[in-house]
């Protein structure tokens, strides 16, 4: 019976499988493998992303071999993925659906690339018009197929240091934008000098897009936020709660709104939401027991990192330290706190406790084509 099912019916069934289960299913027989290969990619992948949560991908921050670790939230399991297909060591900049925007760590001048660790694909983006070091990077996805294999997106590059006309270096004031629809960089505006300095010196590269605005968190104590209104070409800055007391702070997007996650010395970690008039409202606190477990007996939040998606917020430290998770429940009516054990072994082999950088992505077994 299964071998006689039409492809559209079989593909609908496959859309409920997680990527690792789909990979096993396609190896069952030629009929199933052909179905996965020939069914319309965009529609199939959108269905798959709707049924399953994004996965947490952890890249070691130090060059410990070309590999990464991924956590499957469906079955609460860790996997090891080889990255030996990458031409250079990289660090993640942002996730774009099923792809990761990365930059090589062996080059000081900004160079960006896309990779899919599940299909082992890698592609450099064209070099920007202006050669610059240490700029801030922001990403905006453009359409509803953002979780598909070929999402449309734009990359904004602001600040950084470039070569001065008479030699030496200067803060770069031109704002550049890469558009995936034409695979080209464009100069789209200018950055005020004060903002260019802060974006170059005090911004750790993470950005959040919310309601037409790209936001960056400055890492200098006290913390503050910079925003760029894309349609109006306007820059603005504003403060954050407990700005001079926070030991870590990160911006996230949830339900389309801008969120702030931060932890204070010998205090709790909190989550705030940006309201009208650039005011912050407290909406949640990390449970004290989970916070103490994550900190491992220490009182400082300085080593904690945070990554989020529309459906979950993860606080983490090292690969084996475990993660505190605030996640939307399946009934979509509430969010709840969970503890996820860190990665200690895979396939019976012990895994070292490495410092990591985490990103979310929806695994995709279909190759990207741009």
Q: Tens of pLDDT along 242-289?
A: 998 999 999 999 888 999 999 987 788 999 999 998 999 999 999 999
Among candidate residues 181, 166, 149, 153, the one with its CA nearest the CA of residue 361: 149
Q: Tens of pLDDT along 317-354?
A: 999 999 999 998 876 678 999 999 999 999 889 999 99
Could you tell me the pLDDT band of residue 362, with boundaries at 50, 70 and 90? confident
pLDDT above 90 covers what percent of the chain? 61
The pLDDT of residue 305 is 95
Report the pLDDT averaged over residues 304-309. 92
Q: Are 304 and 292 in contact (CB under 8 A)?
A: no
Among candidate residues 285, 294, 228, the one with its CA nearest the CA of residue 260: 285
Higher-pLDDT residue of 206 and 351 is 351
Q: Are 304 and 315 in contact (CB under 8 A)?
A: yes
Query: Is pTM beyond 0.85 here?
Result: yes
DSSP state of 193: H
Q: Are 261 and 253 in contact (CB under 8 A)?
A: no
Report the pLDDT averaged over residues 97-106. 90
Length of the chain: 370
Cβ neighbours, 10 Å, residue 310: 12
CA–CA distance, 75 with 356 (Å, rounded to integer): 22
The pLDDT of residue 43 is 39
CA–CA distance, 266 with 49 (Å, rounded to integer): 39
Mean of the per-residue pLDDT values for the chain? Answer: 86
The pLDDT of residue 2 is 55
Domains present along the chain, CATH in parentheses: 1-39 (1.20.1280)
Report the pLDDT averaged over residues 300-313. 91
CA–CA distance, 149 with 40 (Å, rounded to integer): 11
The pLDDT of residue 142 is 83
Q: Are 315 and 261 in contact (CB under 8 A)?
A: yes
Q: Tens of pLDDT along 43-71?
A: 344 444 545 678 999 999 876 668 999 99
The pLDDT of residue 216 is 96
The pLDDT of residue 38 is 63
Q: Are 196 and 159 in contact (CB under 8 A)?
A: yes
Tokens of residue 64, six digits: 């410990």
Among candidate residues 53, 45, 54, 56, the one with its CA nearest the CA of residue 22: 45
């Amino acid at each position: 019976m299964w071998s006689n099912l039409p492809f559209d019916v079989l593909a609908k069934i496959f859309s409920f499988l997680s990527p690792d289960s789909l990979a096993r299913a396609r190896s069952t027989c030629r009929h199933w493998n052909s179905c996965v290969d020939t069914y319309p990619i965009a529609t199939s992948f959108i269905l798959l992303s709707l049924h399953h949560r994004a996965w947490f991908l952890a890249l070691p921050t130090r060059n410990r071999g070309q590999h990464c670790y991924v956590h499957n939230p469906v079955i609460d399991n860790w996997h090891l993925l080889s990255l030996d297909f990458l031409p250079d060591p990289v660090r993640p900049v942002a996730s774009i659906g099923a792809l990761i925007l990365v930059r090589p760590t062996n080059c000081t001048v900004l160079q960006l690339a896309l990779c899919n660790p599940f299909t082992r694909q890698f592609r450099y983006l064209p070099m920007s018009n202006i050669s610059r070091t240490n700029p801030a990077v922001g990403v905006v996805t453009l359409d509803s197929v953002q979780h598909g294999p070929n999402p449309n997106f734009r990359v904004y590059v602001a600040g950084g240091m470039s070569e001065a006309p008479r030699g030496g270096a200067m803060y770069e004031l031109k704002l550049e934008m890469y558009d995936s629809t034409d695979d080209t960089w464009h100069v789209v505006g200018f950055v005020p000098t004060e903002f260019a300095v802060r974006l170059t010196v005090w911004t750790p590269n993470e950005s959040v897009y919310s309601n037409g605005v790209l936001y960056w968190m400055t890492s200098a104590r006290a913390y503050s936020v910079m925003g760029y209104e894309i349609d109006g070409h306007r820059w603005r800055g504003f403060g954050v709660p407990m700005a001079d007391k926070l030991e870590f702070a990160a911006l996230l997007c949830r339900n389309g709104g801008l969120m702030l996650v931060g932890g204070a010395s010998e205090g709790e970690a909190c989550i705030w939401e940006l309201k009208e008039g650039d005011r912050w409202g407290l909406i949640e606190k990390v449970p004290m027991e989970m916070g103490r477990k994550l900190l491992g007996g220490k009182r400082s939040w300085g080593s904690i990192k945070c990554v989020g998606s529309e459906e979950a917020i993860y606080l983490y430290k090292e690969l084996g330290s475990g993660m505190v998770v605030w996640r939307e429940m399946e009934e979509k009516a509430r969010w709840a706190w969970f503890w996820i054990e860190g990665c200690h072994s895979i396939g019976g082999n012990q895994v070292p406790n490495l410092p990591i950088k985490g990103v979310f992505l929806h695994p995709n077994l279909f190759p990207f084509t741009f």
